[in-house]
Structure 1
């Protein structure tokens, strides 16, 4: 049985102020001295107090819910994340509400505010993180002690996180290509609104800098997150190159970009993998059923959604404020038919993407490093 939650009366008593002062701090109204505001906010955090709107009508009707804000409604990657989150939510008696920002900051802000008005108990977010994004709505969630968990790290905000070391996974994928004899590698990068895109570019740079392969700014092709992005970028980039000047391998931000690129290469008469090897990222389910089975980095999508929901519900139901946890799950390279060695046939199977420090399998709240085996 859950302990009784702290009320605004409790906060006022512990902070030595009136309930009106607590309300003024919550709503940024009236004139409250900085020292008083800090004291009230500290008490709120210590007793895990949340404004009445967090547990009003929905709690009175015993209807508990959590929200999930994704970035691309048409990306199958998020379908598996949603499935995992829904399974964990349902197991704990919560309804999962899902909305998409489509990579737009303003849409994300409106979605967060709407879900709060709908009185969800907490949020899972894949935040829009381009350099111009105003993230004040997320800082406001933190200030009001609203429970949320991120699926992409927001630097400067101490929040729960479920993610994969994207830079390390990208580095290992490129190291595989280099070991297969590829010396000219380019990367089709993702959208500006995802920090994962930059992390995957950084992984390519790290792998190449530790080898004889030269990788410069001109080897980063700005594509996007969708099949049409990979198709458009592929036609433009490879259509301007002579056979002697084109790369022998391409890594892509995600599988959708890689599939679009493969279509563009086919229309240009460039064979995959006979002329160019292509590597995706995510391992979406449809890859198993396509004529050309794509080599890709497998992301633990269902598990990410499941663990994020479980972490969020722990924070929602705790009477005390829990410290934020960061869990990094393991990725693996799945070698299929879209890559080959320059001088010999490429092996097929799964390549371990554990970080260089080794490590075993960490428990929840640590760094998970176990991977599946064939």
Structure 2
């Protein structure tokens, strides 16, 4: 049986009134008596009537919905960002439609085509690993679609952006390891094309230099899919472990890389931190429950989602074209635990 939503025709039939009377009563028109309005509202509530969002969007020229594109909802960082997005959107009367790129350029293109065809009022986007051609996003932006970029951003599109201080997070993590006696510090990073990768590796590199340690290219391993493919992470970690001068510590630059690295080290029977110290960018709540508890750079993900939504709604609701844009930089937190302290 096909579901059919309650319409004003159903209310009109139930009350024996015309559809035009019902419509005017629901719009609180002065042409309709208070008694009739009350009757209509009570019937609408009883029948669980909801205004047709498509009809409303045609009338108001706004759908009161926003689209979000992330690589993967299962990633704890992005799920927390989405919580932040929804908390602001819901309070402001907007619905949220979430799509996943799974790090695929083609999927990202399809996701954005779908969301724009659904007449969303604006888009919040974190770029996929495979995305180097930005023409699909530029085309939407050039046609006036409000867009906010977060986390994985590009400077090629002039709009609001929300990021964390990736450089500072990686610098502080590297410096913490150095101060705790680790000298051969490796980095497990995502795709070289992503903004977060270059920023985090810059912080890692500068911290080494600041403490008189030499940067070694062989100590940096890139995982193109950022940990979504475990075999890729396992292979990268194993390369580090077979080096003549094996690293005595590893920094991982994303949630999935952190868990993948930890899993590989456990499989190899390597003791943390006795054989290898470890710090990772991670928002997983279980970080403090693993053995040993994991030192992490935690990002203010929910705050990032809230900030991105506030900036997007500024664009959506502005009555004049916005020409000045903001890059909002949030501060990550180094949460020190046993995995990065020599025993």
TM-score (norm 2): 0.77
By how many angstroms is 1:75 displaced? 1.4
Give the equivalent residue in structure 2 for 1:70: 70
Give the equivalent residue in structure 1 for 2:237: 234
Give the equivalent residue in structure 1 for 2:116: 116
Larger Rg: 2
Contact 1:186/1:215 (8 A) holds in 2: no
User: Which piece of structure 1 moves more, 116-125 or 210-219?
Assistant: 210-219
Q: Deviations over 1:77-103 (max 9, x none)?
A: 111001110111000000010001111
Contact 2:287/2:295 (8 A) holds in 1: no
Q: Deviations over 1:126-147 (max 9, x none)?
A: 02365x7211112112211110
Q: Distance in 1 between matches of 2:87 and 2:189?
A: 32
- Is 2:320 the partner of 1:317? no
By how many angstroms is 1:268 displaced? 2.0
Contact 1:67/1:122 (8 A) holds in 2: yes
Contact 1:231/1:262 (8 A) holds in 2: no
Give the equivalent residue in structure 1 for 2:57: 58
Distance change (3 Å), C-alpha of 1:189 and 1:168: same
Give the equivalent residue in structure 2 for 1:305: 305
3-state SS of 1:155 partner: coil
Distance change (3 Å), C-alpha of 1:96 and 1:193: farther
3-state SS of 1:292 partner: coil
Contact 2:186/2:250 (8 A) holds in 1: yes
Q: Deviations over 1:235-256 (max 9, x none)?
A: 3431x246xx211110001232
Q: Distance in 1 between matches of 2:118 and 2:255?
A: 34
Give the equivalent residue in structure 1 for 2:270: 270
Q: Distance in 2 between matches of 1:82 and 1:204?
A: 28
Give the equivalent residue in structure 2 for 1:331: 332
Give the equivalent residue in structure 2 for 1:365: none
Which segments of 5 or more consecutive residues in structure 2 lack a partner in the other structure? 1-53
Q: Distance in 2 between matches of 1:260 and 1:104?
A: 20
By how many angstroms is 1:116 displaced? 0.6
Q: Distance in 1 between matches of 2:55 and 2:282?
A: 39
TM-score (norm 1): 0.71
Give the equivalent residue in structure 2 for 1:49: none
By how many angstroms is 1:193 displaced? 5.0
3-state SS of 2:247 partner: coil
Contact 2:164/2:331 (8 A) holds in 1: yes
- Is 2:132 the partner of 1:133? yes
RMSD in angstroms over aligned alpha carbons? 2.1
Give the equivalent residue in structure 1 for 2:341: 340
Q: Distance in 1 between matches of 2:264 and 2:320?
A: 54
By how many angstroms is 1:58 displaced? 2.9
By how many angstroms is 1:177 displaced? 1.1
Q: Distance in 1 between matches of 2:184 and 2:203?
A: 16
Q: Distance in 1 between matches of 2:146 and 2:140?
A: 8
Give the equivalent residue in structure 2 for 1:21: none
Listed as ranges, the matches of 1:197-216 within 5 Å are 197-216=197-216
Distance change (3 Å), C-alpha of 1:59 and 1:303: farther
Q: Distance in 2 between matches of 1:337 and 1:255?
A: 18
3-state SS of 2:198 partner: helix
3-state SS of 2:339 partner: coil
Q: Distance in 1 between matches of 2:166 and 2:290?
A: 25
Q: Distance in 2 between matches of 1:58 and 1:291?
A: 53
Q: Distance in 2 between matches of 1:193 and 1:56?
A: 42
By how many angstroms is 1:118 displaced? 0.5
Listed as ranges, the matches of 1:132-171 within 5 Å are 133-151=132-150, 152-171=152-171
3-state SS of 1:338 partner: helix
3-state SS of 1:162 partner: strand
By how many angstroms is 1:155 displaced? 1.2
Q: Distance in 2 between matches of 1:325 and 1:77?
A: 22
By how many angstroms is 1:321 displaced? 1.9
Displacement over 6 Å in runs of 4+: none
Q: Deviations over 1:198-220 (max 9, x none)?
A: 22112111111222211121111
Distance change (3 Å), C-alpha of 1:56 and 1:166: farther
Q: Distance in 1 between matches of 2:238 and 2:97?
A: 38
